[in-house]
Amino acid sequence: MRIGFIGFGEAGRAFRDSLAAADPALAFAAFDRLLPGEGVDGPCRAALRGRGVAEAGRETGMPDAGWIVSAVTADQSLEAATDACRWLRPGQVFLDVNSVSPDRKRQTAARVCATGAVYVDMAVMAPVHPKGHRTPTLLAGPVDAALRDRLAALGFAFELVGPEPGAATAIKMVRSLFVKGLEAITVEALLAAEASGCRDYILKSLSGSYPGLGWPAFAGYEFERTMKHGARRAAEMRESAATLDALGLHGALAQAIADVQDRMGALAAPPPDFSTGTPDLSTLARLRQGRT
């Protein structure tokens, strides 16, 4: 069996590595939009070569792959699927793991299904490291018994939540509003506390009110996630905003969270280390205020 990846970033590489360990007989191919602009020693091409993954072309695709895993940036998910429709064939399974709105997944499903391929809405519900494809996922779509059995045999930790595409990502988008929002409000509150000179008092107060979060290590984790993955989280939050707007709710909240995530991801500084106490956040506060 060959598994193809559209997009070979963090998620694609994590899935490939854990799947290869689970079944050494699997073969892999991938296309990433970064490849055409890279030289022979570019980082994405090196990642393919180092893992024994065959490089696919954007036009020729991966028609010999049984499964196609789409793992691109949120803003590219529909375009990537549309390109793939030129070579998708009946019987292939298209696993859309992208963090996008239910409407986007339904649009994608309509295009993929028109080729005869099977579209599955897959929502990844936790960081892909260290478990790779064993990370908990939710599935929605026409997942028959044979596909369920094969997923289970390979060690996927999945739950089928509905027969229609969009049902899995709806859960992801709503949950992400809380998870990424908690990250944003934590870093924003502590940077404001630093800028106003009351950081120690705020940390003490939050530790007393919410001891179960594990302060100050919790704060360090939230800073690390936003600074390392802010750009990707911001894109996901814009999809969450679209989800809320479609429901007639307050999508502007998710847009504000996306703005914080974007700003944190753009900071040219290492995440603060809370492991030895409460670090000085003044540099980050100045960077966020636009001062050096």
* pLDDT confidence tier of residue 291, bands split at 50, 70 and 90: low
DSSP class of 56:
P
- Domain identity same for 157 and 181: no
DSSP class of 33:
T
CA–CA gap between residue 192 and residue 282 (Å, rounded): 10
Provide the β-strand partners of residue 68: 4, 94
Our count of domains for the chain comes to 2
CA–CA gap between residue 210 and residue 212 (Å, rounded): 6
Of 61-75, 185-199, 265-279, least confident by mean pLDDT is 265-279
Task: Indicate the residue among 127, 143, 164 that finishes a domain.
Answer: 164
Task: Indicate the residue among 148, 164, 180 that finishes a domain.
Answer: 164
CA 188 remoteness from chain centre? 22
Kindly report the backbone phi and psi dihedral angles of residue 165, in degrees, each rounded to the nearest multiple of 5, phi listed first: -55, 140
Reported as a single tens digit per residue, the pLDDT across 58-101 is 889 999 999 999 999 999 999 999 999 999 999 999 999 999 99
Q: Which two tokens stand for residue 26?
A: 């699997």
CA 73 remoteness from chain centre? 8
**CATH no. for residue 125?**
3.40.50.720
Reported as a single tens digit per residue, the pLDDT across 219-235 is 999 999 999 999 999 99
Reported as a single tens digit per residue, the pLDDT across 2-25 is 999 999 999 999 999 999 999 999
Domain of residue 242 covers 169-288
**CATH no. for residue 198?**
1.10.1040.10
Residue 273: which region, alpha, beta or left (left: phi > 0; alpha: psi -120 to 50)? beta
- Say if residue 292's pLDDT is above 70: no
Q: How high is the mean pLDDT of the chain?
A: 95
Task: Indicate the residue among 122, 147, 164 that finishes a domain.
Answer: 164
The sign of the dihedral angle between the CA atoms of 161, 166, 172, 173 is negative
- Domain identity same for 41 and 184: no
Residue 123, pLDDT score: 98
- Domain identity same for 125 and 181: no
- Domain identity same for 112 and 77: yes
Which pTM does this prediction carry?
0.91
